[in-house]
């Protein structure tokens, strides 16, 4: 796993997804070296970088040109990216042209989650997996309801991570934002 502190960041671009969350996403995805992975809403590229080390192909999408630039810099910094395509476009537009997806990760949807999930559903192969991360309650509800409408049996877990900081008189636990990881597989 890549260290959170090693990523290039920007106050105008979300991320990177924290290390513990990336680890759970990787585990839940069941990624193999033959998989085509799409990272929709790539931010600073935390997910993209991790999957680049493990998947056959990674396609990362973000509407923010700065996010694409920072993801590119992070890939270069870690010596990755030979199998990554970066797309600076709206998620629903870019996804229409990506067929036979093994794993789709949605970390940002720009208020187009239902459209994005419709397109992913159409372009996901028969054994495809969807992973959605969310910090907003509304997004969690919208994702679960849409996945159910599409015939999936979604699962959700809420993760609360705290990291310790050693002080002279003890250890201070500093919590990060709780995040939900919603998973679904094609049946």
What is the phi/psi pair of residue 118, to 5°?
-60, -45
Q: What is the pLDDT of residue 25?
A: 97
Length of the chain: 187
121, containing H or E segment: helix 113-123
Q: What is the pLDDT of residue 124?
A: 97
Q: Locate tokens 């900081």: which residue?
A: 165
Helix (H, G, I), strand (E, B), or coil: what is residue 7? Answer: coil
Q: Are 33 and 55 in contact (CB under 8 A)?
A: yes
pTM (predicted TM-score): 0.94
Q: What is the pLDDT of residue 14?
A: 87
Give the span between the Cα atoms of 43 and 63, in whole angstroms. Answer: 9
Q: What is the pLDDT of residue 111?
A: 83
125 CB burial (10 A radius; 0-12, 13-18, 19+): middle
Give the span between the Cα atoms of 41 and 133, in whole angstroms. Answer: 10
Give the span between the Cα atoms of 49 and 15, in whole angstroms. Answer: 12
pLDDT tens, N- to C-terminus, the chain (187 residues): 999 999 999 989 988 999 999 999 999 999 999 999 999 999 999 999 999 999 999 999 999 999 999 999 999 999 999 999 999 999 999 999 999 999 999 997 778 899 999 999 999 999 999 999 999 999 999 999 999 999 999 999 999 999 999 999 999 999 988 999 999 998 7
DSSP state of 100: S
- In DSSP terms, 130 is beta-bridged to 104, 184
């Amino acid at each position: 796993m890549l260290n959170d502190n090693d990523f290039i960041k920007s106050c105008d671009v979300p991320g990177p997804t924290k290390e513990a969350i990336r680890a759970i996403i990787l585990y839940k995805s069941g990624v193999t070296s033959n998989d085509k992975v799409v990272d929709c809403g790539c931010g600073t590229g935390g997910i993209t970088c991790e999957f680049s080390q493990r998947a056959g192909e990674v396609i990362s999408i973000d509407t923010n040109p700065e996010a694409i630039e920072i993801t590119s810099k992070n890939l270069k910094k870690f010596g990755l990216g030979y199998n990554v395509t970066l797309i600076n476009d709206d998620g629903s537009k870019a996804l229409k042209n990506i067929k036979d997806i093994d794993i789709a990760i949605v970390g940002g949807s720009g208020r187009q989650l239902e459209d994005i999930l419709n397109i992913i559903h159409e372009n996901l192969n028969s054994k495809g997996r969807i992973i959605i991360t969310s910090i907003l309650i509304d997004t969690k509800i919208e994702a679960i309801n849409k996945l159910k409408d599409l015939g999936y049996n979604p699962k959700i877990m809420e993760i609360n991570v705290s990291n310790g900081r050693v002080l002279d008189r003890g250890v201070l636990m500093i919590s990060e934002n709780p995040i939900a990881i919603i998973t679904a597989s094609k049946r």
